[in-house]
Amino acid sequence: MEKIKLATVWLAGCSGCHMSFLDLEEWLLELAQYVDVVYSPVGSDLKEYPENVDVCLVEGGIANEDNLELINQVRERSKILVSFGDCAVTANVPAMRNMLDGAEPVLKRAYLELGDVTPQLPYEPGIVPELLEQVLPVHQDSSL
């Protein structure tokens, strides 16, 4: 029997869904008979999302350019994508920043108004991913 290629992805969220998944404990040993985990933020050092994934569990909303790039890879390279938890389904808590009408007010509040020692905006390419204007749930078209 060929095993199912399973991936899990963590976008903008708290990792609570991954922690709940790990809380399945002994059942995960039984699951391991049927699946190969080919990508996960938990216990994996893989940097690139693989090709030909059968099922991917996606936790979190799409909040920044890195999330957008990863979710597009997941969509292209996975047969089945499962929105895993409230943040993936509705964008939930990460989307609370949507009430501030864009990325700029969020950055100003977090880094300038609340900055204590040397307030400055985090614009360092390759280190701090650029925020999207709105946090999106996984099912929403991210080309907006």
Question: Range with the lowest mean pLDDT among 57-66, 91-100, 125-134?
Answer: 125-134
Q: What are phi and psi of 113, to 5 degrees?
A: -65, -35
Q: What does the pLDDT look like over 27-46, one tens digit per residue?
A: 988 999 999 999 998 877 77
What would the two tokens of residue 61 be? 């909303």
Q: Which of 57, 64, 17, 65 is nearest to 38 (CA)?
A: 57
Q: Which fold has domain 2-95+134-138?
A: Rossmann fold (3.40.50)
Q: What does the pLDDT look like over 72-100, one tens digit per residue?
A: 999 999 999 999 999 999 999 999 999 99
Residues near 14 by beta carbon (within 8 Å), at least 6 away in sequence? 87, 93
Residue ranges covered by each domain of the chain: 2-95+134-138
Cα(99)–Cα(113) distance, integer angstroms: 17
